[in-house]
Amino acid sequence: MSHKNTRAGAPKAKTFTKRRLREWGTGWLFVLPWVIGVSVFFLYAMAQSLSYALSDVRLTNGLTVTYQGFQNFITLFTSDTTFPLALSDFALGLLLQVPIIVAFSLIMALMLSSKIKCRAMFRVLFFLPVIIATGPVMDELTQQGVASVPMVNQAAIQGVLASLPNWLSEPILNLFSSLILILWNSGVQILIFIAGLQKVSPDMREAARIDGASGWEIFWKITIPTVKPMVLLNAVYTIIALSTGGQNAIIQLIYNSMFDSAVGRGYGYAAAMAWTYSLVVALALLLAWLILRDRNKKVVYEKRRVAMKGGYYHGDEKKQA
Amino acid sequence: MAMKKSRRKRTPLERREHLRKLLLGSNEKQGVLLNIVVYTLLISIAFIFLYPVLYMLSTSLMPKEDLLDTAAKWIPSSIYTKNYTDAMQTMDYWNSLLKNLAIAFFPTLAQVVVCSLVGYGFARYNFPLKSLLMVILMLSFLLPAQLTIMPNYVLFANLGLKGTIWAFIVPAVLGMGFKSALFILIFYNFHRQVPNVLLEAAQIDGTSGFGAYFRIAVPLSLPAVVTVILFSFVWYWNETNLTQVYLGYASSRNNGLTTLLIELQKFETSYEALYSQWDASPNKLNGAIRMAGTMLSILPLLLGYLGLQRYFIESVDKSGITGE
């Protein structure tokens, strides 16, 4: 029961009010700065951004907001030539890249957790991109043509992909042409998996060995189930990383609409783009959760998930009460 | 001695078994074959990972004749540092570096203090609406910042914060800086693991809630503090999309704050404004100068990382992000 420590001296029923009131007060004081911040910069801003999305926003001496219903969204999907395309490219990119990054990180973590020499050096190397991989740097590298693996023949891949429909072959081609930079996204995930692998209990492996399990069996029956919650965590982390940073065409489109008076349609239109985009990101997160959640061990899983995300598990308490 | 003895006695069957164990591994030792595979993979992937950086380094030192010469694909014919001086001038390097340091340092400072307080509040106390607030915290972590950027930009512009350092410090002080939600969660996880007995003992001794926080919780959470400082600094340094908006999208150079990466983004424009670009110009922008600029923009963080690598590598482990 690792959770019994989490509550500040649970108040007894008789001394209830005074003590609990003080606890409430102190608790609120601690989180107060954030409550103000989140109200202004997140909740209020969300409401504002939603109202922008449903309005025509003009920057003529001050901000004029005229409600116009779903007009921005209609324009977005009927007469915009770039956004729907960029959005579907982004979604397909996520579908392809997230599994690759997560699987790659797991393989790297497994290799880095085995008994090899220079382990520390390898870890430092593979974490390096987290420090240096940023949009402008990756743009420069792409422009110099060093984003893809040097030995891979691009023309050959193009030949193989020629038989596929265009909407599918293009993301795959993108994948190969910037494979290094995509794999560069795996630094944090590798470390998360390594931390997870350390939790695989040596006793359990020893016991399995004595029972005659092979290394292969131990890997599938013990190691993989232990790191399974990390897979979800890493998938979520990867989706967020890919959707907020680096070379993201959609973010650029949103900013263009905000600031570029020549091509932009204003804040309202930008807000509509941002809401559509966030919806896609939310769907991707939901999809990851649906696929990767552990269906069998609901309670254990729920605890882990909540703990991982920094939540607080309430199940036990209800049982005690 | 014992080894020799057993070797003398070995039957063909045992010898085969010994070979199998050596190659494929046994319970005690990893097999040689597996080791060969692992090392080969690790070394080649390390090369692939480093390839862009190595290319950047070698190209940035090449005189422009080398760029066309296929013989000098990797090793420059001579070390040519003018690329770097040109790039430094283009980016207004030392000036931009200082501004960049300010943009990364002050919000980080504010962020680590506030996120620790808020994380502690969530971990240690129960109060009305706590679950709702936690849900909002998660949402603010999961949804892209682009959703709220327009109203916040308008707000900053109205308050006169746009383009100043306060556009970064004010949200950080209110726990809404870059990735604040993640840092609050890290502190939350950390403070939850502190045994309650310690804090209760302090309270019996007459320490207030805040006293217990400063005297017991803060010293115990130092590893989390280190993690948050490092990552917050790196993220403020690297975040270009949002920084650009807070600085006022089209603000030109010398007109206030900037970061090295923003300077890199407009490298071409700045360069062309500095050096004339007619066709036969000896100063035409080339790949070597661009790579020198890229190298310069990552160099400060790179050096910092190499110096503090241990803390970076341990940070994920210590953040408690893997649960329990």
CB-CB: which of A23, A259, A274 is closest to B126? A23
The answer to whether the CB atoms of B52 and A248 lie below 8 A apart is: no
- Secondary structure string (H, E, C) spanning B207-264: CCHHHHHHHHHHHHCHHHHHHHHHHHHHHHHHCCHHHHHHCCCCCCCCCCCCCHHHHH
B49 to chain A, any CB pair closer than 8 A? The answer is yes
Residue A4 lies in a domain: no
pLDDT at B7: 53
- CB contacts of B143 in chain A (<8 Å) are 278, 281-282
A109 to chain B, any CB pair closer than 8 A? The answer is no
Among B58, B2, B48, which residue's Cα sits nearest to residue A148? B48
Q: With beta carbons less than 8 A apart as the criterion, state whether B85 and B289 touch.
A: no
B137 to chain A, any CB pair closer than 8 A? The answer is yes
The enclosing domain of A94 has a CATH number of: 1.10.3720.10
The alpha carbon of residue B54 and the mean position of all alpha carbons in its chain are separated, in whole angstroms, by 20
| Residues A204 and A294 placed together within one structural domain of the fold | yes
| Residues A266 and A305 placed together within one structural domain of the fold | yes
Buried (b) or exposed (e) across B13-46, using 16+ Cβ within 10 A?
A: eeeeeeeeeeeebeeeeebeebbeebeeebeebb
Q: Diameter of chain B by CA atoms?
A: 89
Residue B47: half-sphere exposure toward Cβ, Cα within 13 Å: 8
Per-residue pLDDT of chain B (324 residues; tens, 9 = 90+): 445 545 566 777 777 777 777 666 665 566 778 788 888 989 988 988 888 899 899 888 888 777 777 666 677 777 888 889 988 988 889 999 999 999 999 999 999 999 999 999 999 888 888 999 999 999 999 998 889 988 998 899 888 888 888 999 999 999 998 989 999 999 998 888 878 787 777 777 777 778 888 888 888 888 889 989 999 999 999 988 888 888 876 555 446 788 899 888 888 888 888 876 666 666 778 888 889 999 999 999 999 999 998 888 888 777 666 554
pLDDT at A229: 84
Q: With beta carbons less than 8 A apart as the criterion, state whether B315 and B227 touch.
A: yes
Residue A3 lies in a domain: no
Size of interface A-B (CB pairs under 8 A): 306
Q: With beta carbons less than 8 A apart as the criterion, state whether A136 and B240 touch.
A: yes
Phi, psi of A149 (to 5 degrees): -65, 125
| Residues A42 and A122 placed together within one structural domain of the fold | no
The answer to whether the CB atoms of A26 and B150 lie below 8 A apart is: no
Q: Give the Cα separation of B108 and A268 in Å (integer).
A: 32
Residue A5 lies in a domain: no
A248 to chain B, any CB pair closer than 8 A? The answer is yes
Which residues 214-253 of B are in CB contact (within 8 Å) with A?
A: 234, 238-241, 244-245, 249-250
Q: Give the Cα separation of A209 and A76 in Å (integer).
A: 60
The last residue of a domain, from among A48, A73, A98: A73
The last residue of a domain, from among A50, A73, A96: A73
Q: Give the Cα separation of B133 and A20 in Å (integer).
A: 19
The answer to whether the CB atoms of B234 and A131 lie below 8 A apart is: yes
A315 to chain B, any CB pair closer than 8 A? The answer is no
A94 to chain B, any CB pair closer than 8 A? The answer is no
Q: Give the Cα separation of B20 and B56 in Å (integer).
A: 45
Residue A258 lies in a domain: yes
CB-CB: which of B41, B56, B153 is closest to A111? B41
Q: Diameter of chain A by CA atoms?
A: 79
Residue A165 lies in a domain: yes
A83 to chain B, any CB pair closer than 8 A? The answer is no
| Residues A170 and A35 placed together within one structural domain of the fold | no
Residue A221 lies in a domain: yes
The answer to whether the CB atoms of A140 and B290 lie below 8 A apart is: yes
| Residues A85 and A197 placed together within one structural domain of the fold | yes
Structural domain containing residue A118:
80-320
pLDDT at A317: 45
pLDDT at A319: 43
| Residues A118 and A60 placed together within one structural domain of the fold | no
The last residue of a domain, from among A73, A97, A112: A73
Q: With beta carbons less than 8 A apart as the criterion, state whether A234 and A185 touch.
A: no
| Residues A118 and A200 placed together within one structural domain of the fold | yes
Q: Closest-CA residue in chain B for A256?
A: B249
| Residues A230 and A107 placed together within one structural domain of the fold | yes
pLDDT at B36: 86
- How many domains does chain A contain in total? 2
Q: For residue A129, with 0-12 CB atoms within 10 Å meaning exposed, 13-18 middle and 19 or more buried, which class applies?
A: buried
| Residues A95 and A242 placed together within one structural domain of the fold | yes
Q: Give the Cα separation of A180 and B54 in Å (integer).
A: 13
Q: With beta carbons less than 8 A apart as the criterion, state whether B56 and B291 touch.
A: yes
Token pair 């109060």: residue: B127
Between the two ends of chain A, the Cα-to-Cα distance in Å is: 15
pLDDT at A304: 54
Please tell me the distance in Å from B280's CA to the nearest CA on chain A: 22
Please tell me the distance in Å from A164's CA to the nearest CA on chain B: 28
Ordered by where they begin, the domains of chain B are 2-84 (no CATH), 92-265 (1.10.3720.10)
Q: With beta carbons less than 8 A apart as the criterion, state whether A294 and A228 touch.
A: yes
The answer to whether the CB atoms of A112 and B42 lie below 8 A apart is: yes
pLDDT at B71: 63
Which of B147, B237, B251, B311 best probes binding to A when mutated, by most A CB atoms within 10 angstroms?
Answer: B147
pLDDT at B266: 85
- CB contacts of B196 in chain A (<8 Å) are 5-9
What is the crossing angle of helices B93-124 and B82-91, to 10°? Answer: 60
Residue A11 lies in a domain: no
Tokens in use for A124?
């430092």
A197 to chain B, any CB pair closer than 8 A? The answer is no
Cα angle B260-B264-B270, degrees, rounded to a multiple of 5: 110
| Residues A54 and A92 placed together within one structural domain of the fold | no
Which of B38, B91, B125 best probes binding to A when mutated, by most A CB atoms within 10 angstroms?
Answer: B125
The answer to whether the CB atoms of B143 and A278 lie below 8 A apart is: yes
- CB contacts of B217 in chain A (<8 Å) are none
B140 to chain A, any CB pair closer than 8 A? The answer is yes
Cα angle A281-B135-B189, degrees, rounded to a multiple of 5: 100
- CB contacts of B302 in chain A (<8 Å) are 128, 131-132
Residue A10 lies in a domain: no
pLDDT at A303: 53
| Residues A58 and A129 placed together within one structural domain of the fold | no
pLDDT at A2: 42
A158 to chain B, any CB pair closer than 8 A? The answer is no
- ipTM value, please give it: 0.83
B166 to chain A, any CB pair closer than 8 A? The answer is no
Which value, in Å, is the radius of gyration of the alpha carbons in chain B?
28
Q: Closest-CA residue in chain A for B323?
A: A308
Q: With beta carbons less than 8 A apart as the criterion, state whether A56 and A268 touch.
A: yes
Sign of CA dihedral B252, B253, B259, B263: positive
A233 Cβ contact list (under 8 Å, min separation 6): A192, A308, B321, B322
Q: Give the Cα separation of B247 and B99 in Å (integer).
A: 12
Tokens in use for B208?
């207030």
Residues of chain A falling short of pLDDT 50 = 1-11, 301, 315-321
Which residues 5-44 of A are in CB contact (within 8 Å) with B?
A: 5-9, 23-31, 33-38, 40-44
User: Where does chain B have alpha helices with state H?
Assistant: 2-9, 12-24, 32-60, 64-68, 82-91, 93-124, 130-142, 149-159, 166-173, 180-192, 196-204, 209-212, 218-220, 222-238, 241-246, 260-265, 267-274, 287-318
| Residues A62 and A93 placed together within one structural domain of the fold | no
Q: With beta carbons less than 8 A apart as the criterion, state whether B281 and A193 touch.
A: no
The answer to whether the CB atoms of B126 and A8 lie below 8 A apart is: yes
